Chains A and B, each alone.
Chain A
């Protein structure tokens, strides 16, 4: 494989990374074009550079040139409204270096050692940038959480998980009526809901009541997923089956909030009278 073939193969990933990093395809492509122009203008690689490229891989070499240019050139981050994805808002909320480290690691799959050579930083610094990224994401998704759960032990488990992500639990509701009352007192930014509640009421009905007045991310946590799958359910909904793993709950909460996946009532429910 020639050098230019290797560049052609890795170019789509560079464009993706540049798009995520800069917030718009236009700005991202401007950097990617500048990267290829820089490679074109470069002297033929020295044996040492060729050896480095061979160990790091062609993707590594291409990204290294890109990052050198990104660090030296300032293209304004202009949010492209047509592409105004929630992901952009999440990424925009991060400071530049943690954002780069996060994207190189989580999006492009480079390990901390490779990122260290890409950014010319010690690996310990890369690890602390990735930690900072985690803290900045947590700060960005910061919100109040309503837990609808009649089993106290599970509710307290969920409260602990939510706390570890830096989120606050506004209230724990045990019934449909309590959930509706809790939302009237304080509007949450996320609902975690069991379906089968102690007084025979349904968490799904509670969520549909809440979604009559607002749109917000909803995660159902239930031992009876069939009740959700067969019922009139809001879209999109996240489902976690009991017994759950704490990391699963954390991952799904993070995704629901980072991508701002707000649930809406199903069409049939919004069309008719409530």
Chain B
């Protein structure tokens, strides 16, 4: 009668769980995505200033003037 090595139940399961635990794949750093450097952004900013120039030039709306007057009054009251 031949002898056979029969592994005990549960043995292989343990091996697998140990092998997969805490494994962290090592990935190379992703390539830097293309972008616009600050100098190029500044050029877009310059164009934006032209687009919004009208806002800077237009008279300040009434409700802002009232708030600024209120600030003046409040400051005068304090001093």
Q: Which residues in A have their C-beta under 8 angstroms from that of B72?
A: 2, 4
Least CB distance from B74 to A in Å reads: 7
Q: Name the prevailing secondary structure of the A interface residues.
A: helix
Assess A138 versus B35: contact at CB under 8 Å? Given A2-B75, A106-B42: yes
Known contacts A13-B56, A16-B52, A254-B44; is A32 also within 8 Å of B64 by CB?
Answer: yes
CB atoms of A40 and B70 under 8 A apart = yes
Cross-chain pair count, CB within 8 angstroms = 122
Query: How long is the Cα–Cα vector from A259 to B50 in the complex, in angstroms?
Result: 12
Residues facing B in A1-52 (CB within 8 A) are 2-4, 7-8, 11-13, 15-16, 19-20, 25, 29, 32-33, 36-37, 39-40, 44
Q: Which residues of chain B are within 8 angstroms of A12 by Cβ–Cβ distance? A: 55-58, 60
Q: Does A40 contact B71, Cβ atoms closer than 8 Å?
A: yes
Would you give the 0/1 interface string for B40-66, flagging 1 where the beta carbon is closer than 8 Å to chain A?
A: 111111111101100111101101100
Q: When the two chains form the complex, which single residue of B33, B61, B70 contacts A29, counting CB atoms closer than 8 Å?
A: B61
Residues A258 and B34 in contact, CB atoms below 8 Å apart: no
| A39 CA to B74 CA, complexed, in Å | 11
Q: Does A151 contact B (CB under 8 A)?
A: no
Rounded to whole angstroms, the CA-CA distance of A5 and B46 in the bound complex is 26
Q: Kindly identify, within residues 134 to 160 of chain A, every residue whose CB is under 8 Å from any CB belonging to chain B.
A: 134-135, 137-139
Which residues of the partner chain B approach A235 to less than 8 Å between Cβ atoms?
none
- Could you tell me if B55 and A164 are in contact, using CB atoms closer than 8 angstroms? no
User: In B10-42, which residues have CB < 8 Å from any A CB?
Assistant: 33-42
Known: A134-B37, A135-B33. A255 touches B44 (CB 8 A): yes
Among B49, B51, B74, B78, the residue within 8 A (CB) of A85 is: B51
Contact B47 A44 (CB under 8 A): no
Residues of chain A contacted by B44 (CB below 8 angstroms): 106, 137, 254-255, 258
B47 touches A259 (CB 8 A): yes
B64 contacts which of A19, A36, A130 (Cβ < 8 Å)? A36
Contact between B48 and A138, CB atoms less than 8 A apart: no
Shortest CB distance B62–A (Å) = 11
Knowing A29-B61, A36-B68, A39-B71 are in contact, say whether A164-B34 is a contact too (CB < 8 A): yes
B36 touches A137 (CB 8 A): yes
Cα-based distance from A163 to B48 in the complex (angstroms):
24
B43 engages A138 (CB within 8 Å) = no
Tell me which residues across on chain A come within 8 A of B71, comparing CB atoms.
3-4, 7, 36, 39-40
B residues lining the A interface (CB < 8 Å):
33-49, 51-52, 55-58, 60-61, 63-64, 67-68, 70-72, 74-75, 78
8 A-B Cβ contacts within 8 A? A4-B72, A39-B71, A87-B48, A105-B45, A107-B45, A254-B44, A255-B47, A259-B47
